[in-house]
Structure 1
Amino acid sequence: MTRGKKHMILDQVCTRSAEVIERELQGESVLLDLNTGIYYSLNPAGGFIWRMLDGARTVREIVDLMVAEFDVDPETAAADTVELVSDLLEQKLAGTERDGA
Structure 2
Amino acid sequence: MTSTESNPDGRTYQVVGDRVAWRQTDDEAVVLDLEDSVYYGLNPTGVLLWKRLAAGATRRDLVGMLVASGAPAERASADVDAFLTELGSYGLLTS
TM-score of the alignment, normalized to the shorter chain, above 0.5: yes
Deviations along 1:36-57, one digit per CA (max 9) or x if unpaired, are 11000010001110111122x3
Residue 22 of structure 1, CA deviation? 1.3
TM-score by length of 1: 0.78
Q: Calculate the aligned-residue CA RMSD, in Å.
A: 1.7
Equivalent residue, structure 2, for 1:11: 10
What is the identity, as a one-letter code, of the residue corresponding to 2:81? V
Residue 67 of structure 1, CA deviation? 1.0
Equivalent residue, structure 2, for 1:59: 59
Residue 27 of structure 1, CA deviation? 2.7
What is the identity, as a one-letter code, of the residue corresponding to 2:45? A
Unaligned runs of 5+ in 2: 1-6
SS at match of 2:91: coil
What is the identity, as a one-letter code, of the residue corresponding to 1:24? Q
What is the identity, as a one-letter code, of the residue corresponding to 1:27? D
TM-score by length of 2: 0.83
Equivalent residue, structure 2, for 1:99: none
Deviations along 1:38-84, one digit per CA (max 9) or x if unpaired, are 000010001110111122x3111111011112x21011001001100
Provide runs of 4+ in structure 1 moved above 4 Å.
none
What is the identity, as a one-letter code, of the residue corresponding to 1:65? M
